[in-house]
Structure 1
Amino acid sequence: MDLLSILVTVIAVVLSMSVHEMAHGLVSAWLGDPTAKIRGRLSLNPLAHIDWTGLLCLMLFGFGWAKPVPIDPSYYKDQKTGIIWTSFAGPVANFLLAFVFLLIYTLLSFFAPAFVSSGFGAFIAAVLMNTAVISIGFGIFNLIPIPPLDGAKIFWSFLPDREYYRMMAGSQWTTLLFILLIATGVLSRPLVMMRQTMLGWMLQACIGLIGLFI
């Protein structure tokens, strides 16, 4: 991987992680919890959100994690519902980021092909596309229903409160399972397939939107 490719990947990863974690903090703040704001996590500053192991995995495999935003559910009117909405916020923000960047990429490709073919334009196009791909992958990965990922807080919310909070507290076996899934790459193929499918849907939607106006 050359230096330019590394720079593009770093930008894409940093944007995907920062938007994801800031979204968690924003929704938690909207629900009355000031913890993320107090801890300086309502920010796009990547240094506030980066987990270095997760960053490396995201750069190498397209799937990883960031440093969790601290929340205090005791501020929510309904703790479990608040946790669910806060958990959904990160992946949804990733999908929205991906769609916006794909729309800009498609607009440039339709209306400014000469710019996209130029040196700087090609760099911008690469950042847009790579951010979309990585952001989609980051969003999908975090929806896996294994603690400490967001998907666990959503999927297991159907359990009675006592079992739900016990599950969310984690255990040695859930931590081991999470590490094994990452280390063995057993999830790589299905996650890549889902990522590529969602990417295709978004691109088609972008082309369809542009088609309405030309």
Structure 2
Amino acid sequence: MGLLSLLSENPLAFVVVALALVLSLAFHEFAHAWAADRLGDPTPRRYGRVTLNPIKHLDPFGTLLLLFVGFGFARPVPINPNNLGRWGTLWVSAAGPLSNVLIAVVCAVLLKLLPLTSLTLLILMTVLSINIVLAVFNLIPIPLLDGSRILGALVPSLGRSLAQFEAQPFSFVLVMVFIFLFSGQIGGIIRTVQGWVVGLIGI
């Protein structure tokens, strides 16, 4: 179900989820760009991606998918691995998921410390859940996701094969088909992690 279905059922929840998704995706991509910039790759700055401005990071097609399907993506940050080396590429790849883990940790702390109203609970739990989803999903080691690039940096021979696959024009379609076919298993993993985190917080 896409976000538009939520709009008619619960407008407030729609606004909270939409804003949380946009800002979390933007922060994820900003983290990639910032890490690459700090590690000596000027490519993200050249493309104006070292910014928290969501407009610079959102992908039109990925946003439409979010609205109508409930699954989408932001624009990948362009980097030049030759400027980063093996370990620099690993840290840049890991920066996105780590940024989502950081947001989730902040939300968890606020849930324990703040006096909770229904609105603050909705906002914090929504942001927490979305960032757990983004962190776990992006760490899956399949092509085009951060997890595959982390794995490729750890195993250079595999990284070269993954890079060659990603360069093919059909790679995006194949990955989308794979995600669709295994969406149940992927969702199960994400729900397990979400349940573990919520249980740990005690909410």
TM-score (norm 1): 0.77
- 2:172 is aligned with 1:175: yes
Larger Rg: 1
1:88 CA displacement? 1.0
Deviates more, 1:144-153 or 1:89-98: 144-153
Checking the alignment, whether the CA contact within 8 Å between 1:29 and 1:36 is kept in structure 2 is: yes
Deviates more, 1:26-35 or 1:197-206: 197-206
1:20 CA displacement? 0.5
- 2:124 is aligned with 1:128: yes
- 2:195 is aligned with 1:187: no
For CA contacts below 8 A with separation 6 or more, give which structure has more relative contact order.
1
The match for 1:5 among 7, 10, 13 is: 13
Report the AA paired with residue 138 of structure 1: L
Residue aligning to 1:101: 107
Structure 2 CA distance for partners of 1:197 and 1:97, relative to 1, 3 Å: same
Structure 2 CA distance for partners of 1:203 and 1:162, relative to 1, 3 Å: closer
For 1:107 and 1:28, locate their aligned partners in 2 and report how far apart those are by CA, in whole Å: 34
Of all paired residues, the percent bearing the same amino acid is 36
Structure 2 CA distance for partners of 1:179 and 1:57, relative to 1, 3 Å: same
The match for 2:161 among 147, 160, 163 is: 163
Residue aligning to 2:38: 30
Q: How many residues matched?
A: 193
1:138 CA displacement? 1.6
Checking the alignment, whether the CA contact within 8 Å between 1:13 and 1:58 is kept in structure 2 is: no
| CA RMSD between the two structures | 2.5
TM-score (norm 2): 0.81
Secondary structure of the 1:130 match is helix
Structure 2 CA distance for partners of 1:126 and 1:52, relative to 1, 3 Å: farther
Residue aligning to 2:74: 66
1:59 CA displacement? 5.4
Checking the alignment, whether the CA contact within 8 Å between 2:137 and 2:190 is kept in structure 1 is: no
After superposition, the C-alpha distances for 1:123-167 in whole angstroms (9 at most, x for unaligned) are 232121111111111222222333222122122341426535423
Structure 1, unmatched stretches of 5+, are 117-121, 208-214
Structure 2 CA distance for partners of 1:61 and 1:132, relative to 1, 3 Å: farther
Structure 2, unmatched stretches of 5+, are 1-5
The match for 2:198 among 200, 203, 209 is: 203
